[in-house]
Amino acid sequence: DTAVSQTPKYLVTQMGNDKSIKCEQNLGHDTMYWYKQDSKKFLKIMFSYNNKELIINETVPNRFSPKSPDKAHLNLHINSLELGDSAVYFCASSQGGQGSEKLFFGSGTQLSVL
Amino acid sequence: DAKTTQPTSMDCAEGRAANLPCNHSTISGNEYVYWYRQIHSQGPQYIIHGLKNNETNEMASLIITEDRKSSTLILPHATLRDTAVYYCIVLNAGNNRKLIWGLGTSLAVNP
């Protein structure tokens, strides 16, 4: 079983559309994350949720809205997609705890906005 | 959070040890050193982390200098599947801690 799974793997869409990426983890972890990896391969955190509560919001445009229905799921909804949103988006989870950032990542969703 | 400096790229022969250096000269006492790697078209994968002592697990060894200003990740017997980008990250253990990723070292393991 895949520990952290995200769907879809590829997403091609037009500017202005609204799209969602889903993420599920079966590790029993308390914390989940969304990361964005741009074309230069920089990996930047977008959001972090702990037990369904938002912990980190890294000045991401409010067109991006994460939703955590339960601690095993963290979905990312993006409104009014722009060209600059094209990137690979990774979901991750961790058990957390003091000094522990051992993250488990999904395989990524490659978003292409045309 | 302390910044890290890593070589952009390295080569290693298959079967030999790969030693990946990382400088973190501004690291503070409560900051951990984490190593991750990203194989092409996959998500990052945790390798190992440490605070002061050297650490070893089934994937690698982490050697941290006594002054903690640098560290080395050692893959004892590199295989072709170890070809990846390796990220060295320092992390503050306080609240709202988050990993700050650089560009890492692109390791090519050659046959």
pLDDT, one tens digit per residue, over B29-40 is: 888 899 999 999
Q: Say which residue, B93 or A32, is predicted with more confidence.
A: A32
Q: Please write down the HEC assignment for all residues of B66-108.
A: CCCCEEEEEECCCCHHHCEEEEEEEEECCCCCCCCCCCCEEEE
Q: Say which residue, A51 or B23, is predicted with more confidence.
A: B23
- CA of A106: which chain B residue's CA is closest? B43
Chain A hits for B30, Cβ within 8 Å: 99
pLDDT level of residue B97 (50, 70, 90 thresholds)? low
Q: Is the N-terminal amide bond of A8 cis, ω within 30° of 0? A: yes
**Least confident stretch, A54-63, B28-37, B53-62, B95-104:** B95-104
pLDDT level of residue A1 (50, 70, 90 thresholds)? low
Mean pLDDT for A23-51 is: 90
Nearest-neighbour CA in chain B from A51: distance (Å):
14
Per-residue model confidence (pLDDT) at position B85: 97
Per-residue model confidence (pLDDT) at position A98: 45
- CA of B106: which chain A residue's CA is closest? A41
- CA of A57: which chain B residue's CA is closest? B96
Per-residue model confidence (pLDDT) at position A34: 94
What is the Cα–Cα distance from B7 to A72, expressed in whole angstroms? 37
* A99·B91 Cβ contact <8 A: yes
With CA atoms as reference, report the closest residue to A40 among B72, B48, B104, B73.
B104
Q: Which of A40, A101, A104 sits opposite B99 (nearest CB)?
A: A101
What value, to the nearest 5°, has the Cα angle with vertex A84 and ends A91 and A70?
Answer: 25
* B99·A105 Cβ contact <8 A: no
Q: How far apart, in Å, do the first and last CA atoms of chain B sit?
A: 38
pLDDT, one tens digit per residue, over A78-102 is: 999 999 999 999 999 988 654 467 8
The DSSP element (H or E) to which B25 belongs, if any, is none
* B32·A90 Cβ contact <8 A: no
- Residue labelled with tokens 């979901």: A91
Q: Say which residue, A30 or A4, is predicted with more confidence.
A: A4
Chain B hits for A92, Cβ within 8 Å: 43-44
The DSSP element (H or E) to which B62 belongs, if any, is strand B61-64
Token pair recorded at residue A97 = 């705890």
